[in-house]
Amino acid sequence: MAYSSRSARRGALLAGAIAVLGLLSSCGSQHDQAGPAKTDSGTAAPATETSKDSSPGAGTAASTPAGPASSAAARSSGSSDAGSGTGTGTGTGGKTGATSTRCHTSELGASVGRNDPGAGQENFPVVLTNKSGRTCTLRGYPGAAFVSASGSQLGPDPRRESGSPVTITLKPGQSAWAGLTFSNPEISEAKTATPAALLVTPPDERDQLKVAWTAGAVPVSGNSSSVSLTVLRPGSGV
């Protein structure tokens, strides 16, 4: 009886030990399985996001905004266009040709100076004076015609005497003159008329200046009726 009780107690103790060992083994297995799974799920996602952020292909492109770069390019292009525009503008200004320095009729005043007779000739200086505020030039022969009070021309146009034209620069107030010459009608016995005015046309102009004529009769036809003009020269002919 005593032996049987000991054997039963030993068997019970052994069974309990085996049960405890089995329980401990089961808990250890569950701890081993749950621990690694928890560690993997906790570190995998941040590692993946870090990898994406540091990726040259994705992270760099995503972190670089496209708008400012496009705006800078547009500004650069605009600056280039503005420069070209300015150049063009500056170029357009250079294309304007040199301003003519010729004296225009509207800038001149005309007068007839005092007669300086000699050798049967009547000699009058026809004077053109720069009345503008700028410097201008005259070159060549003026035009001239005697006219009646009604405006009709008396006699032919004066002929031009030979001469070498020069460019005359007139500052404001300065003058140039051409000699108007004809034979004394009392000597030449030419047919005469008394003009009311002398019309003077500056070189290369079409508009005329009208000067009252107060020097009496002039030849208009017949013998020795020719009237002549000289080339313009600096001064007033006095």
pLDDT of residue 119: 87
Query: What is the three-class DSSP state of 32?
Result: helix
Run of H or E residues at 89: helix 66-94
With vertex at residue 70, the alpha carbon angle to CA 64 and CA 72, rounded to the nearest 5 degrees, is 100
pLDDT of residue 77: 35
The fold for domain 105-234 equals Immunoglobulin-like (2.60.40)
pLDDT of residue 57: 39
pLDDT of residue 222: 77
Question: In sequence order, what DSSP letters do the residues of 96-145 get, joined into one string?
Answer: SPPPP-BPPGGGEEEEE-----BTTEEEEEEEEEE-SSS-EEEES--EEE
Cα–Cα distance for residue pair 233/200, rounded to 1 Å? 16
Q: What is the pTM of this model?
A: 0.58
Cα–Cα distance for residue pair 170/128, rounded to 1 Å? 10
pLDDT of residue 73: 37
pLDDT of residue 50: 37
Q: Is 151 left (phi over 0), alpha (psi -120 to 50) or beta?
A: left
pLDDT of residue 211: 97
The domain ranges of the chain are 2-94, 105-234
pLDDT of residue 187: 86
- Tens-digit pLDDT profile for the chain (238 aa)? 444 455 555 555 555 555 545 544 444 444 444 444 433 333 333 333 333 343 433 333 333 344 433 333 333 333 333 333 323 233 333 333 345 699 999 999 999 999 999 989 999 999 999 999 999 999 999 999 999 999 999 999 999 999 999 999 999 999 999 999 999 888 888 899 999 999 999 999 999 999 999 999 999 987 677 899 999 999 998 7
pLDDT of residue 146: 97
Q: State both tokens at 88.
A: 């063009």
Query: What is the three-class DSSP state of 228?
Result: strand
pLDDT of residue 46: 36
pLDDT of residue 98: 44
Query: What is the three-class DSSP state of 133?
Result: coil
